[in-house]
Structure 1
Amino acid sequence: MRFATYTAKDEVFYGAVHDEGMIALSPEFPQWPTLRDVIAGDGLAALEDAAQDKPVTHSDVTYEIPVPNPEKILCVGVNFPDRNAEYKDGSAAPKHMSLFPRFARSFTGAGRSLIRPPENHTLDYEGEVAIVIGKGGRRIKAEDAYDHIAALTLCNEGTIRDWVRHAKFNVTQGKNWDNSGAIGPWLVPFTDAAQLDDARIETRVNGEVRQEDTLNRMMFPIREEIAYISTFTTLVPGDIIITGTPTGAGARFDPPKYLVPGDVVEVEVEGIGILRNTVEDEFDTDEFGEEKA
């Protein structure tokens, strides 16, 4: 079963996803105002039970980020061998993983537009699997890491490429433009290691496959990500770890293939779903990049 946060008639709900729409469940669980609270209360199984044989309550909905206002969103960078080779610096696989934070405001929901800002037009895509922490902890052992995952979702970790080069060791400003990325469309409860170990991820732009790889080729597997991150910070329910993107981002083409208004970007993993977003400009600008009157 899949669970989503969505807006219908200007009201935010969470519920179960049905082929014909949504089954609102939040009104039945006032003790859990959001899906983040559901996860903290180990309540996904209760939602599944509650959704059985219930009718669809909403057919016209807008997806929100599945877990609202997570305490932490941490992203793992350069985590596939071919991605590391893209940098052409002759370096071997790094000893430790690269990490950076993203803020919830930098993401939008499925079906919405990624926003290209007027300050810079190097908006790029990065398709990734995101894990949602269910059971918190500190110094979690790698062999126990999967016990701490509540659910899986997808991410387009949209990036303003020129802005990740504004400092020597800092990519944060290029990774946190409002609504530059997306998470969703829903949560799939994590029940089996094969959901991650055997997963293949594919990113398409206007139907053209740009990225494809399997998660078992990650330089830092998800078990290690959880173990490493929890060494220095306590993971709490609802935290999101965005696990790494394969080679093939737009910046790596010659010339680069950055996203432009009207593009459609899809990130797909079998068993999780498809995260689909369009692209639009934040402002309507003229040929010189100036906002039109």
Structure 2
Amino acid sequence: MRFATYSSNGLTFFGAVTEEGMIALNDHCPQWPTLLDAVRAGGLDRLARIAGGLPVTHRDITYDMVLPNAPRILCVGVNFPDRNAEYRDGSDQPRYMSLFPRFASGFTGHDRPLIRPPESRALDYEGEVAIVIGKGGRRISQDDAYDHIAALTICNEGTIRDWVRHAKFNVTQGKNWDRSGSMGPWLVPFTDPGQLDAARIVTRVNGEIRQDDMLSRMMFPIRREIEYISTFMTLQPGDIIVTGTPTGAGARFDPPRYLAPGDVVEVEVNGIGTLRNIVEDEKP
């Protein structure tokens, strides 16, 4: 069962995704105003049971960012061996992972436009797997880490490249432009560690494969990410960790191959689905 946040006829819903359309679940679970509330309550199994006995309610829908009210999104940077080499600085694999925050306002939903702002033409793509925390905790061991994951989704962690160089020690400015990235299309409940251990990320721009790698090759595996992050902050249900992107982002070509209006970006992850967006310039 997959779950999404979506809009129809000017109203916002969360519900179950089927081949025929969406099954709205808001009215059946009034104690959970949003999908985030259901995640925080450990309610995805209950949503699945409820949806199993209901008909499709919406066929004409627009996907929203899958958890549009997510309060905390942490991203892991430079997490594949070839990505480290792309920087051409002669550095070895780092001892500790790079981390930076993103905010929900920087993401849009599946099949909605990625927005290139007038201040820059350096909009880039980064296909990644994102995990949603279902059980909070502090100082979580790697052995227990997977027990804290509620669901998986896909992220295109869009970046305005020249704005990540505006300061010496941070990339926050280039990572948080409104609707510069996307997340979705849906949440897939996490039930099998093999979903992650065998996950493959493929990013295409206009049908051309730009990124193609396995999560098993990450320098800091997801178990380690959860362990490390939960050392300095208490993870809470609903937190999102964006786990890292493979080599092949547009900035690393010579010359760079940034996104332009009309480009179609697809991020496919086996066992989760495909996240698709077209690029548009910001309208005045």
Structure 1 and Structure 2 fold alike (TM over 0.5): yes
State whether structure 2 residue 89 is matched by structure 1 residue 82. no
Contact 2:71–2:103 (CA<8 Å) still a contact in 1? no
Quote the residue 2:24 is aligned against: 24
Unmatched 5+ stretches in structure 1: 285-293
Quote the residue 2:152 is aligned against: 152
How many residue pairs get aligned? The number is 284
Aligned partner letter, 1:144: D
Contact 1:73–1:102 (CA<8 Å) still a contact in 2? yes
Aligned partner letter, 1:55: P
Aligned partner letter, 1:83: R
Tell me the alpha carbon deviations over residues 171-207 of structure 1, each in whole angstroms, 9 at most, x when there is no partner.
0000000000000000000001000011111000000
Quote the residue 2:107 is aligned against: 107
The 5-angstrom pairing of residues 40-189 of structure 1 reads 40-189=40-189
Dislocated runs of 4+, deviation >4 Å: none
Quote the residue 2:191 is aligned against: 191
What displacement does 1:101 show?
0.2
Contact 2:131–2:153 (CA<8 Å) still a contact in 1? yes
Quote the residue 1:290 is aligned against: none
What displacement does 1:115 show?
0.2
Tell me the alpha carbon deviations over residues 217-243 of structure 1, each in whole angstroms, 9 at most, x when there is no partner.
000000000110011111111100000
What displacement does 1:283 show?
3.0
Distance across 1 between alignment mates of 2:264 and 2:151: 26
Percent identity reads 73
Unmatched 5+ stretches in structure 2: none
Distance across 1 between alignment mates of 2:206 and 2:53: 37
What displacement does 1:214 show?
0.2
Aligned partner letter, 2:137: G
| Aligned-residue CA RMSD (Å) | 0.8
What displacement does 1:65 show?
1.4
Aligned partner letter, 2:32: W
Contact 2:128–2:157 (CA<8 Å) still a contact in 1? yes
What displacement does 1:144 show?
0.4
Distance across 2 between alignment mates of 1:240 and 1:65: 13
Contact 1:34–1:68 (CA<8 Å) still a contact in 2? no
What displacement does 1:168 show?
1.5
What displacement does 1:53 show?
3.7
Distance across 2 between alignment mates of 1:63 and 1:85: 36
Distance across 2 between alignment mates of 1:142 and 1:33: 33
What displacement does 1:59 show?
0.3
Distance across 2 between alignment mates of 1:61 and 1:235: 32
Aligned partner letter, 1:58: H
What displacement does 1:142 show?
1.0
Distance across 2 between alignment mates of 1:251 and 1:283: 24
Quote the residue 1:223 is aligned against: 223
Distance across 2 between alignment mates of 1:238 and 1:47: 16
Matched residue of 1:164: which SS? helix
State whether structure 2 residue 205 is matched by structure 1 residue 205. yes
Give the alignment's TM-score, normalised by structure 2.
Answer: 0.99
Matched residue of 2:55: which SS? coil
Distance across 2 between alignment mates of 1:32 and 1:173: 33
Tell me the alpha carbon deviations over residues 223-282 of structure 1, each in whole angstroms, 9 at most, x when there is no partner.
000110011111111100000000000011111110000000000011100000000000
Distance across 1 between alignment mates of 2:7 and 2:270: 26
Quote the residue 1:232 is aligned against: 232
Matched residue of 1:143: which SS? coil
Comparing 47-56 with 274-283, which one deviates more in the overlay? 47-56
Aligned partner letter, 1:34: T
